[in-house]
Every structure is written in structure tokens, then in C-alpha cells.
A and B are shown apart, each in its own frame.
Chain A
Amino acid sequence: MADNILLQVRNLKMHFPIEEGILLRKKVGAIRAIDGIDLDIEKGETLGLVGESGCGKSTTARCIAQLHKPTGGEVLFQGKDLCKATGSELLSARMGIQMIFQDPYASLNPRMTAGNIIAEPMVIYRERKMLDISKKEITSRVEDLMEKVGLSKHFKNRYPHEFSGGQRQRIGVARALSLNPKLILADEPVSALDVSIQSQILNLLDDLQKEFDLTFLFIAHDLAVIQHISTRVAVMYLGRIVEISTAEELYKKPLHPYTEALMSAVPIPDPDIERNRKRIILTGDVPSPDKERFGCYFYDRCPKRMEKCKSSIPQLKVMEGKHQVACFLH
């Protein structure tokens, strides 16, 4: 594995079984939430992951963190395949990978104080003797972290409901930082926030990345947010990656017909631009991922589909620079 690569995902698959029957559960099919993903995340970069609802973004993050055991493929983190790691090996690898979630309301335990929420990962690893830290040090680290994310340490003993949405998200960020992770998987961390609060959190993540040398996988469905925060962006459709490039390149020169439609659909807050824009309106909805596909996953909705696309699956191909696309047009 090249030195500058922190995480490597190879042919990752997560098929959730569809079962039927009450006493004897029988597997009758599978939801192919992710169906063969390859990704490299470089040290210090922010890799954005975009795509429509249900395309498998959260599942990808959860599989990387091993919150779901993937049904196939590899997740190589610092040279180790997390899918094969077990018990304490996995736990220690997991110290380096933390998650931030979308819903600051649902993701924090309502019965714990902010201070305890932030301290919890350290406490757990301390109890397992995997982290050498005293109780006093934990307390002072919690206070440091709170200051770092822009919360007064005097709020330590307050409960989540006493904070606003943006503040709750800051608690989530502080907690994710507590174990000094290398990689942060941020699953829609600003989607539930108002515009003015959203920009505060995006700036915070940017500052922390520089200060702590963090690498991010950043999931969002808002392409403008993704473009702002990301070094590179991966576009996902129906459990597959269809295109990867820098955000600018994807907007200026999208290669995949899906990326093209997606980019054209994003409203831009400027009446002049909006008046002169041509939208590519896709017909139909994202199909359900419950059947095996033998052709391009975008075939049903693709305005540029060809005969070939029906019967074989395009693989990611490296184009100019770091641009990668999975489409037979290229």
C-alpha cells in the first residue's frame, strides 16, 4: 500500500438478507446496499461521498467502521484488513476511526451529560486497559476538547436537550476527537442544521483537520457543501461508485451521465445563473437495490444508454489526472 494512503477499500460488498417465514427464517433475496466498491483515501484529504437517498453512503461508512460486517471485500486501514480483524485487534484499530452522525438529536444519549458523552470513548478504552490515561487527565481532556469545538467548559454538566442543534453537533465532534483518531467518518454532519449554523460547523471541521492532521470521509447529499469541504469527491449510485474526481472537475467536466444530471439539478442561489441553466431532468426514481444486476446500474435512467450497457458492468477507469469514471462512453 502506498505511503500516502490511509484507507483502502477493495470490492466491498454489503448484502442485507431479505428473509421470510416466521419460525424457519429463510433467505429469499438480498438488499445489495453496496455492491462492489473500490476507494482509496489519502492521508490528510477529505474525500466527499455523494449520491441520492438509499444509494449506500451510510452503509459504506458503517462497513468501513465495521459497525456492519461486510459480506465481501476488504477494508485496509494502516495495512490491516479490518474485515478479518477480531476482538481486541479490531478494537485497537477502531480507535483510529471515529464517526460523526447526521442527527445531533438522536445520536447523543439524552441521559448523559455533555462531559460524560465526550469522555465515554476514553473511559471505555481505559477500562479495557487499551488507553493509558488517568481519570483526572480525562476530565481535563474533556474540557480541552470542549474549548476546541467552541463550547464553554461550563456546559459540561448540561444534558443534550439543553443545547441547540449546532451545539449538539459540536458535542458529537468533540467525542469523535477524544481518542485522537486518524480518520473521521462524517455521515451527513451538517444536513440537519440551518445554513448559518452549517457554515459554523464546516469551518470548525476545517480548522480541526489542520490542527490534528485528520483525514475525513465526508458524506452529504448537498453537493455544494461537498464541493466546499472535499479534496476529491466520489459519486455513488445504487451501491456503486460511478465517478471520482476533484469537486471542481466534477462540476465543470462531469464524465458520467449520472454526475452530469446530479450537478445540473443542484440549485444555485443566483437568479441570473438559474435563468440560463439547462437542467437534465432524469426520469423515474432510483430503483430498489434488491436484485442482481448484469449491466450498468444506471441503465434504467440513463439518457445516453447504449446496447452494451445492458449486458456488461462498466468498471472504474482512470482518466486524465486523478479523474476516474465507470462508464462505457469513456
Chain B
Amino acid sequence: MSEVILKVNDLKTYFNTDDGIVKAVDGVSFELEKGEMLGIVGESGSGKSVTNLSLMKLIPSPPGKIMSGTAMLDGVDIFKMNDNEIRKLRGNRIGMIFQDPMTSLNPFLRISTQMIETIMLHQDKDKSAARARAVEMLEMVGIPNPSKRINDYPHQFSGGMRQRVMIAMALSCDPEILIADEPTSALDVTIQAQIIEVMQELCRKLNTAVIMITHDLGVVAGICDKVCVMYAGRIVEKGSNDEIFKDPKHPYTQGLIKSVPRLDRPSKGRLYSIEGQPPNVIDLPECCPFHPRCEKAMDKCRNTYPPLKVFGKGREVSCWLYEGEK
């Protein structure tokens, strides 16, 4: 049996803005098992980053607030932890990589200083042991000549190399969970392929569970075990990688998969496209937020949010189309 290490239940994170209350995340639940890769996909503004920042309690407050929900990590609720406990959690049990490595690396400090500091903060190691560990991690992520390059400043590294440093740092304390928020979106495809390979290999070796946030369906198809599709602050569909790509149930997921041009399938002529735009998550009425763009919308969809339909373990859809099905 695989073991659940993180169980998020009914997470709601709202922001108080001048225009009204932004329901950035509005009732998100999912489970993460040991060593697996979970993909979270969805359009810009659908709440992917806010979901994961909430898990690390990194939501700026005000204006943001975690309104409800639990996030059980080995039986302990992250949201009930005090500041000290949270600080220990970050970087130690949960590592994080962001899209832009420059925002998380200090440009004025050598890579060595930053890595050694992180390792010593979380692990019981003296300076030289921490340094050895840092060099070892850099080597693992494929930085050439790591014992020398570790003394460089971040700007002396290319974008791809900086992202490798981030991976090395995030994994240096053997976290159980790695949250990667668009780790390759700013990189070129050939560099993306390098980074993904490194991440996949390392996480498998260290048995780290990964939450991979991305808008690139191709990346998800290549590496994830399970996928959550988000729309307007909620997860609208969940399933294994194969289920999501071969048998998407939610009209949004179906549309999303159909609208991506594919390199292996020459598609001349018109692309499938989902008309309209993603909704504003302020003052959303109690309806399916996708209904104005949905080809299969029914009256019900305009009035009530669809209930969760469970098709089996880890296979869930929120759509009125499946109401009567078993």
C-alpha cells in the first residue's frame, strides 16, 4: 500500500482587495502519496500558486487569509503549527522551487554561503560537513566543477544553472515533499529537458514526493503520476495521468487537451479553442464557473455548483454531466 504523507482538505484562501473578496482558492482537497509526482495544471489565476503557498503558510496577510481547511502532514495539521514549527518545516520537510530562481537566491551572497546556511539551519552539521553536502548536491544536479563553482555568485550562473542550484538547495535536506512552482517555465526546452531529468532522477532516488505546478500539459504528461486540474480556485477534475489524458471527463479538461497544438500530430487548419475568458474570482455566483465557456452547459450549471462525483479511488470530477452516473 502506498502511504499518504500529505492530506489537504477543503482549503480556502481568500484575499481582501479594493474590488472585493478574491476567492483565490475555494475548497481544494487532495492527497499526496510518498514518492509520487502530482501535477497541478490550470490557467493563469486559477489558484495553483496560492494553494501551495498556503501549504507553506507563505500567504501575505493582509490581504490574504487561510479561511478554512486542514493540511495533515503525518497526522499533524500544518495550519495549526506556530511560526517556529513552520520555519522548521520549510526547507526541512518541505522544499520549494519557484519559477524565477533569482527571486529566491540572494544576488549578493555566494552560492556556497547560501547553501551552507540552509543546510546548517536544518541539519545537525558543522560548516565543513555542510559544505561537503552542498558540493555533493551540486554535483548531483550536474553543475560542472562544483567544488569551484560553489564559490560563484548567482549572476555568474545561467538561468538553467540557477534553477539547478535551487533544486540542489531544496533537496539538500532530504525533504519528504518538494513543491515545484513552474520550475521550468522560464527556461528553453533543451534546458527544461535537462532540469526535468535531474529532478525526476533525484526525487526517485531520494523517494521525495513532488507537487509539480505547471501550465504545460506536455510536462505533466511526461512525468506526473497523478493530475489535478484547477479552474477558478477549485479542482474540477482529478485522476491518474493516463485517466486525465486518455479519458478526460470535465469539458474544461477536454477542451484544454484539445486546444494544445501537438508536435507529433500535424494539425493544419483551425485549432480547437475554448471561447471566452477565465472568470474573475471576485463575486462568483453559486454556479459552475466554467458554464459560460462550456459547450455542454445546462440550466443546472447556471444555478448551482456541481457536486463532486467520485468514480473510484483518486478519480473525481465536478460536473453536472455525471450526476446520474454510477
Q: Are A263 and B263 in contact (CB under 8 A)?
A: yes
Q: Are A206 and B263 in contact (CB under 8 A)?
A: no
Q: A196-B256, A268-B218, A269-B260 are in contact. Are A203 and B266 (CB under 8 A)?
A: no
Question: Is B270 at the interface (CB under 8 A from chain A)?
Answer: yes
- Complexed CA–CA distance, A267 and B188 (Å): 12
Q: Are B261 and A282 in contact (CB under 8 A)?
A: no
Q: Are B267 and A228 in contact (CB under 8 A)?
A: yes
Q: Are B262 and A268 in contact (CB under 8 A)?
A: yes
Question: Is A199 at the interface (CB under 8 A from chain B)?
Answer: yes
- Complexed CA–CA distance, A261 and B193 (Å): 10
In this complex, what residue of A is CB-closest to B258? A199
Stretch of B30-38, B48-56, B271-279, B298-306 lying at the A interface: B271-279
CB neighbours (8 Å) of B277 from chain A are: 164, 166, 197
Checking B220, B242, B266 against A269 with a beta-carbon cut-off of 8 angstroms, the contacting residue is B220
Checking B191, B261, B278 against A228 with a beta-carbon cut-off of 8 angstroms, the contacting residue is B261
Question: Is A53 at the interface (CB under 8 A from chain B)?
Answer: yes
Residues of chain B in range 184-221 having any CB-CB distance to chain A below 8 Å: 188-194, 197, 215-221
Q: Are B197 and A279 in contact (CB under 8 A)?
A: yes
Q: Are B273 and A196 in contact (CB under 8 A)?
A: yes
Checking A195, A199, A270, A286 against B245 with a beta-carbon cut-off of 8 angstroms, the contacting residue is A270
Checking B160, B260, B267 against A285 with a beta-carbon cut-off of 8 angstroms, the contacting residue is B160
Q: Are A265 and B193 in contact (CB under 8 A)?
A: yes
CB neighbours (8 Å) of A225 from chain B are: 261
- Complexed CA–CA distance, A200 and B268 (Å): 15
Question: Is A95 at the interface (CB under 8 A from chain B)?
Answer: no
Residues of chain A in range 196-238 having any CB-CB distance to chain B below 8 Å: 196-200, 202-203, 206, 221, 223-225, 227-228
Checking B160, B262, B271 against A202 with a beta-carbon cut-off of 8 angstroms, the contacting residue is B271
> How many whole Å from A269's CB to the nearest CB in chain B?
4
Question: Is A251 at the interface (CB under 8 A from chain B)?
Answer: yes
Checking A197, A203, A263 against B270 with a beta-carbon cut-off of 8 angstroms, the contacting residue is A203
Chain B interface, number of residues (Cβ within 8 angstroms)? 49
Q: A224-B260, A270-B262 are in contact. Are A196 and B43 (CB under 8 A)?
A: yes
- Complexed CA–CA distance, A263 and B262 (Å): 12
Q: Are B189 and A282 in contact (CB under 8 A)?
A: no
Q: Are A203 and B271 in contact (CB under 8 A)?
A: yes
Q: A166-B277, A199-B271, A224-B261 are in contact. Are A194 and B222 (CB under 8 A)?
A: no
- Complexed CA–CA distance, A289 and B187 (Å): 18
Question: Is B257 at the interface (CB under 8 A from chain A)?
Answer: yes
Q: Are B266 and A248 in contact (CB under 8 A)?
A: yes
Question: Is A85 at the interface (CB under 8 A from chain B)?
Answer: no
Residue with the greatest number of chain A CB neighbours at <10 A, chosen from B215, B263, B268, B269: B263
CB neighbours (8 Å) of A227 from chain B are: 261, 263, 266
Checking B159, B245, B260 against A271 with a beta-carbon cut-off of 8 angstroms, the contacting residue is B245
Digit string of A263-302 for contact with B (CB within 8 Å is 1, else 0)?
A: 1111111110110000101100110000000000000000
Q: Are A281 and B192 in contact (CB under 8 A)?
A: no
Checking A200, A264, A266, A271 against B241 with a beta-carbon cut-off of 8 angstroms, the contacting residue is A271
- Complexed CA–CA distance, A286 and B190 (Å): 10
CB neighbours (8 Å) of B270 from chain A are: 203, 206
Q: A228-B271, A279-B197 are in contact. Are A265 and B266 (CB under 8 A)?
A: no
Q: Are B194 and A199 in contact (CB under 8 A)?
A: no
- Complexed CA–CA distance, A224 and B267 (Å): 10
CB neighbours (8 Å) of A195 from chain B are: 43, 215, 217, 256, 259-260
- Complexed CA–CA distance, A274 and B158 (Å): 27
CB neighbours (8 Å) of B194 from chain A are: 281-282
Question: Is A262 at the interface (CB under 8 A from chain B)?
Answer: yes
Question: Is B8 at the interface (CB under 8 A from chain A)?
Answer: no
- Complexed CA–CA distance, A228 and B188 (Å): 19
Question: Is B44 at the interface (CB under 8 A from chain A)?
Answer: yes
Q: Are B189 and A223 in contact (CB under 8 A)?
A: yes
Question: Is A52 at the interface (CB under 8 A from chain B)?
Answer: yes
> How many whole Å from B275's CB to the nearest CB in chain A?
7
Q: Please report A residues at the B interface, Cβ cutoff 8 Å.
A: 52-53, 164-166, 194-200, 202-203, 206, 221, 223-225, 227-228, 247-248, 251, 261-271, 273-274, 279, 281-282, 285-286
Question: Besides A228-B271, A268-B222, A274-B221, 12 other CB < 8 A contacts?
Answer: A53-B159, A196-B274, A206-B269, A224-B218, A248-B266, A251-B264, A262-B189, A265-B189, A267-B189, A269-B257, A271-B222, A286-B188
7 pairs, CB–CB < 8 Å, chain A vs chain B: A165-B44, A228-B268, A266-B218, A268-B221, A269-B217, A271-B222, A271-B241
Q: Please report B residues at the A interface, Cβ cutoff 8 Å.
A: 43-44, 158-161, 188-194, 197, 215-223, 241-242, 245-246, 255-257, 259-264, 266-275, 277-278, 293
